[in-house]
Amino acid sequence: MNDTAIARLIAAEEKRQREGLEMIPSENHTSSDVLKALGSRLTDKYSEGYPGIRYYGGCEIVDEVENLARKRAQALFGVSHANVQPYSGSPANMAVYFALADPGDTVMGLELYYGGHMTHGLKVNFSGKWFNSVQYRTGKDGYLDYGAMAALVQEHKPKLIFVGATAYPRVFDWQKLRDIADLAQSFLVADISHIAGLVVAGAHPSPVGIADVITTTTHKTLRGPRGAIILCNGLPSNPLKRAERVKENLPTLIDRAIIPGLQGGPHNHQTAAIAVALHEAAQPAFKEYGRQIVANAKTLAAALSSVGYELVTGGTDNHLLLIDLTNKNIKGADAEKALGMAGITVNKNTVPFDSRPPFDPSGIRLGTPALTTRGMKETEMEQVAQWIDRAITAHGNEKKLTAIKQEVRALTEAFPLPN
């Protein structure tokens, strides 16, 4: 690379990832094949529209790329329709609102500070400013309160309900959620961005056939590039034509929301990289990978609980842990900093009914997808738990944190990044 400044920064980031433990649960390590697709000449081509109905000429090859990505997504998740053009998770969710609701309509989602996502109705987000957002919460135990949610649905009768989370360590009961949505004839949208890889691997229940629409990013447990997919069932018609807002028309409504509704030309290099990731996720080894993510998370949870850490809900069923550090007399931001100095990357996070402000919360969020990608298993999780405890105990002591970082680096040498 002739741009030595950027080359230096790329090398520095690669070194940081290689020598540290990436434990933010929304992060992962892609394969070299995904990276090759991302860096391909496909990035040069404009292709507004859909395969066979583009606004530009010269799209015959990118049509094949997009069709292949769509077919792979349909097969992997077991749906009849997939849109692979969303630029990322938030635009994908915006497209669902655009397709199924009008500004001012009532919508529902899990409140951000109780584990949800900002596009599920946070008041400062488009989803909370353009729509009448009613937020549901977890109970004091950290579990989703289905009874309270049902009462809210009956009271407010939302047009659509988003279900999904960024910091919820338990499984979703999709059928119970479907029954709740049916109380008001609401559209049920499952945002499985965090758990898509677990769903594919059979390590988390699937919402397919239960939720009306499914959205997911492709760069978390699915281990692909940054991007998103919208899934549903039904047969699309021409997205250039209007369609009535009924469930039978979901594919057309979704496609029309992406373009001409919200986006211009799709990122063809991203689409190709998504196709590569979907192919990788369809291999038998991926199922074992998904199961190992959960096994690692459970081992990590048990090890941290054994030394006095208070896990929200008492443990985990998926890829992440949410820890309330109040009893350890350290704030989430300080724990994040200490762990970072020790070579362990996590993020500060609110916990349910947090007494501290969102930007200076009581907890941290961490997970096992990236460590599992590197080949680490239960034995390594026991060691990681010890380092986490030592680093939090030693927060503010740079010498001790540096010593832990050297130990972490020694472990990472035995578990290199993919390829």
Q: One of 48, 63, 288, 382 is an active-site residue; which one? A: 48
In the prediction, which pLDDT does 396 show? Answer: 94
Render pLDDT for 29-44 as a digit per residue (tens, 0 to 9).
999 999 999 999 999 9
Q: Do 26 and 413 form a contact (C-beta atoms < 8 A)?
A: no
Domains and CATH numbers, the chain: 33-281 (3.40.640.10), 284-414 (3.90.1150.10)
Q: Name the token pair of 73.
A: 């997504």
Measure the CA–CA gap between 16 and 19, rounded to whole angstroms: 5
Active site residue 226: yes
Burial degree of 125 (CB within 10 A; 0-12, 13-18, 19+): buried
Q: One of 220, 223, 298, 328 is an active-site residue; which one? A: 220
In the prediction, which pLDDT does 136 show? Answer: 98
Active site residue 191: yes
Active site residue 217: yes
Q: Do 186 and 160 form a contact (C-beta atoms < 8 A)?
A: yes
Write phi, then psi, for 173 (nearest 5 degrees).
Answer: -90, 90
Sole residue written with tokens 């009874």: 147
Q: One of 30, 119, 217, 412 is an active-site residue; which one? A: 217
In the prediction, which pLDDT does 358 show? Answer: 86
Measure the CA–CA gap between 372 and 110, rounded to whole angstroms: 28
Active site residue 46: yes
- The pairing of strands 228-232 and 213-217 is antiparallel
Spans of the chain below 70 pLDDT: 237
- DSSP at 243: -
Q: One of 19, 46, 145, 337 is an active-site residue; which one? A: 46
Q: Do 98 and 261 form a contact (C-beta atoms < 8 A)?
A: yes
Measure the CA–CA gap between 2 and 157, rounded to whole angstroms: 58
How far, in whole angstroms, is CA 63 from its chain's centroid?
A: 27
Sole residue written with tokens 């030693």: 394
Going from the C-alpha of 328 to that of each of 122, 168, 178, 367, 388, the distances in angstroms are 30, 21, 39, 20, 12
How many CB atoms neighbour CB 150 within 10 A? Answer: 18
Going from the C-alpha of 161 to that of each of 24, 58, 78, 230, 315, the distances in angstroms are 27, 40, 22, 16, 26
- The pairing of strands 187-191 and 160-164 is parallel
- DSSP at 246: S
Q: Which residues pair with 216 in a beta bridge?
A: 229
In the prediction, which pLDDT does 235 show? Answer: 80
In the prediction, which pLDDT does 23 show? Answer: 98
Q: One of 157, 176, 226, 287 is an active-site residue; which one? A: 226
In the prediction, which pLDDT does 195 show? Answer: 98
How far, in whole angstroms, is CA 358 from its chain's centroid?
A: 20
Q: Do 384 and 21 form a contact (C-beta atoms < 8 A)?
A: yes
Query: Does a cis peptide bond (omega within 30 degrees of 0) precede residue 260?
Result: yes
Render pLDDT for 200-242 as a digit per residue (tens, 0 to 9).
999 999 999 999 999 999 999 999 999 999 999 988 767 777 8
Q: Name the token pair of 36.
A: 């090759």
Sign of the CA dihedral running 53, 55, 57, 61: negative
Q: One of 22, 111, 191, 317 is an active-site residue; which one? A: 191
Q: Name the token pair of 38.
A: 């991302």
Alpha-helical regions (H) of 202-328: 250-256, 268-281, 284-305
Render pLDDT for 297-338 as a digit per residue (tens, 0 to 9).
999 999 999 999 999 999 999 999 999 999 999 999 999 999
Going from the C-alpha of 80 to that of each of 83, 206, 230, 352, the distances in angstroms are 11, 15, 11, 37
Please give the angle made by the CA atoms of 254, 260 and 264, to the nearest 5 degrees: 110
Measure the CA–CA gap between 167 and 194, rounded to whole angstroms: 9
